[in-house]
Structure 1
Amino acid sequence: MNVLTFAQRTYNRRACSLYLSIASICDFIHLNSGPLTNILQYGFHYDWTINSNTYCKLKSYISFVFTVISATLTAIASIDRYILSSRNTNRWKFSTRSIAVRCILFTIFFWIFFSIPIAFCYTRYNHSSHNEQLICSNVSQHMPCHIIQIIYTCIFNGFLPPVIMIYFGLLTCTNARNLRRRSLTDSARLRQINYQLTLMLILQTVKSSFASLPFAIFNCYLLATIKLDKSLILQAKENLVNQIVYLLFWSNYTSFFVYIYSSDIFRHQCMKAMKRLVCCSCNGKKRRYYHRPGLKHLNTTAHIFDTKYKPAQIL
């Protein structure tokens, strides 16, 4: 629904909506590819990738790439909101669709190549906290993989995106009144759209902070204590906290509800997109054709008044 709504005419020419739309596509791919094998393994006890380290490495790489691309584009969208709220009009030229396309392409290719080390550190091993089941994870036994886990999981996918969004969100809040002062350059409708996009990003920043920061902090704790001997009680407590922060991290993928709550324009465009989908499907099913020997199939509304035959002859 994010993708369909941001594709509407109201949003499709704005750089911020393009960032959020591509981020939603990345979230969609990640949600429907990465967790699938986990659901089969832990929910239905069916592991069709058993003893497949290649799939483990590929799955971990793809999951991280799409996650970090989505987080990066959302952070860039918050920077875009700050640029538009700035009093310096020279900065507004960086908030264009062409600049957004370049930033998106650079972000995608950068993380595709920069995330390659992730694939070398993930493997399948018997985990004591999961009843000795084979799980796909970074064991971090070697120092290079330990450093990679800290840099990629804790910093790039944990601390950095929400910190950037908080910083530029605060700057945008201080400049938010400027969005209502552009009477000479923007129409009232355009100012309202920009203002509500900014509000959507600010609420998204608050949600991402509560979702990502606990995840990053707990992963740093696990990496710092990975070589310590832990009792079964301590491991059980860690598993409980791990499930809590992991579920909080998954709330990053609920941006649609934040946008629906914070923007009446987004709600209106969302309903408009749904109506178009319903109308297109209904029109496809309700097409009626009439047949007359020697003539092609004719649509009732398109040909009755254009053909040289009378309606009675066609019928």
Structure 2
Amino acid sequence: MSTATTVIITNLAFITAQLNRSLALIILIFGTIGNLINILVFSRRSLRKQPCSIYFLGASIASLFALYSGLLSRLLSGYNLDISIYNDSICKLRFFTAYWCLTVLAWFLVFASIDRYLGTSRLAYRRNFSHRYVAYRVVSIASLLSFLAYISVFFCFNTNSFLLSRQCYSQGIICPFVTDIEFLILYSLLPTIIMTIFGSLTVRNVKQLGRHIAPATSNIIAANNRQLRRQKKIQLVPMLLTQIVLFLLFTVPVAVSKLYTSLTNLLNYEKTNEQVARETFSYNVTVLITYLNCSVSFYVYALTGHLFRNELKKTAQKLIDKNYTSRTTT
């Protein structure tokens, strides 16, 4: 191996370590704060009546677990403190939890996009499917199926002390290909396609609702109540659409990287040490990018959701009042 190649490999490893120390820490801090606030806001009784809010709540919980199962180990690896590279059980549990939570996050956004499509439909029988009891069942079933989908991680992932990098990894040739393709399809490919389709259909529904003129009715109060409920459903649409766009931007790079690596490994494509180093660096960067999906939701909701901002203010006021009351009574 030439001196130039050695320098390139060393520099890429150094940059990766610095990114794991700095960028991973920033994502982890902002993601923790944002998801905790999301959980407080979406747990409010007024929002729990909205099925879309239930999916947002589930996505925030999944994001929090994904950050601490997947991203935290990358942060620790920047300081050579990642114990998952030495312990088989932690290695398996780390990847299983990260894959599971990231996939659940993606599918909760999928179901939120389907729910907004149903909730904004002018057809009553479609709107009937936009219900919180349906959302609770869907969340439970999706979580269970995603859990079962990644059982293979416990058989494929192990530690290897002879490797200088990525010591907790999927062994052999078939296992990496199966787990990577499975993650690619369940986390990236299918959710992206379905979210794009239903996001477009939701936009069409909202435009139709804007042009729709309510028919004359003798029950003005009932008509107004229906209009208010419909407006509340529409207010969640900008939050969801922005989240979908960001999901696509943050997910496509890691999907492309995983697909390339899986195919070249399966075909036994010979690579130089420099190629391996560049691919590893590219993969590490795209993984950090995909974890932005777990950290930006609160800031997206706060910027694009009028309803969310109102509920956020109420939550903050409730916490302030509760703190004031506890101080005055002690």
TM-score by length of 2: 0.78
Match for 2:73 among 26, 34, 37? 37
Match for 1:112 among 147, 151, 157? 147
Change in CA separation of 1:48 and 1:243 when aligned onto 2, cut-off 3 Å: closer
Alignment of 1:18-29 (within 5 A): 18-29=54-65
Change in CA separation of 1:35 and 1:127 when aligned onto 2, cut-off 3 Å: farther
Contact 1:49–1:55 (Cα < 8 Å) also in 2:
yes
* Residue deviations 1:52-78 (CA, integer Å, cap 9, x gap): 212211221122111111111111110
**1 CA distance for matches of 2:297 and 2:93?**
27
Contact 1:182–1:191 (Cα < 8 Å) also in 2:
no
Contact 2:103–2:186 (Cα < 8 Å) also in 1:
yes
Match for 1:245 among 286, 290, 310? 286
**2 CA distance for matches of 1:78 and 1:199?**
11
**What is the CA distance between 1:133 and its match in structure 2?**
4.2
- Structure with the higher helix share, 1 or 2: 2
**1 CA distance for matches of 2:45 and 2:184?**
38
**2 CA distance for matches of 1:283 and 1:48?**
44
Describe the SS at the equivalent of 2:48.
coil
**2 CA distance for matches of 1:133 and 1:33?**
19
Count matched residues: 282
Matched letter for residue 112 of structure 1: F
Quote the residue 2:186 is aligned against. 156
Change in CA separation of 1:60 and 1:5 when aligned onto 2, cut-off 3 Å: same
Match for 1:84 among 104, 115, 119? 119
Larger Rg: 1
**1 CA distance for matches of 2:53 and 2:305?**
13
Matched letter for residue 99 of structure 1: V
**What is the CA distance between 1:90 and its match in structure 2?**
0.7
RMSD over aligned CA atoms reads 2.2
Q: Are 2:176 and 1:135 equivalent residues in the alignment?
A: no
Quote the residue 1:297 is aligned against. none
Contact 1:85–1:178 (Cα < 8 Å) also in 2:
no
Matched letter for residue 260 of structure 1: A
**What is the CA distance between 1:240 and its match in structure 2?**
3.4
Contact 2:120–2:234 (Cα < 8 Å) also in 1:
no
Q: Are 2:230 and 1:170 equivalent residues in the alignment?
A: no
**1 CA distance for matches of 2:249 and 2:130?**
28
**What is the CA distance between 1:235 and its match in structure 2?**
2.7
Quote the residue 2:40 is aligned against. 4
**What is the CA distance between 1:86 and its match in structure 2?**
2.0
**Which stretch of structure 1 is more off in the superposition, 156-165 or 243-252?**
243-252
Match for 2:156 among 121, 135, 153? 121
TM-score by length of 1: 0.82
- In structure 1, stretches of 5+ residues that fail to align are 289-315
Q: Are 2:288 and 1:228 equivalent residues in the alignment?
A: no
- Between 1 and 2, higher relative CO (CA 8 Å, sep ≥ 6) is seen in 2
**What is the CA distance between 1:108 and its match in structure 2?**
1.5
**What is the CA distance between 1:234 and its match in structure 2?**
2.1
Match for 1:258 among 273, 276, 300? 300
**1 CA distance for matches of 2:327 and 2:196?**
49
* Residue deviations 1:145-196 (CA, integer Å, cap 9, x gap): 1442243221111211122111110111111124444853754443332112
Runs of 4+ residues deviating >6 angstroms: none
**1 CA distance for matches of 2:292 and 2:85?**
29
Contact 1:56–1:123 (Cα < 8 Å) also in 2:
yes
Describe the SS at the equivalent of 1:137.
strand
**2 CA distance for matches of 1:267 and 1:8?**
13
Quote the residue 1:293 is aligned against. none
Change in CA separation of 1:182 and 1:275 when aligned onto 2, cut-off 3 Å: farther
Describe the SS at the equivalent of 1:10.
helix
**Which stretch of structure 1 is more off in the superposition, 185-194 or 152-161?**
185-194
Describe the SS at the equivalent of 1:94.
coil
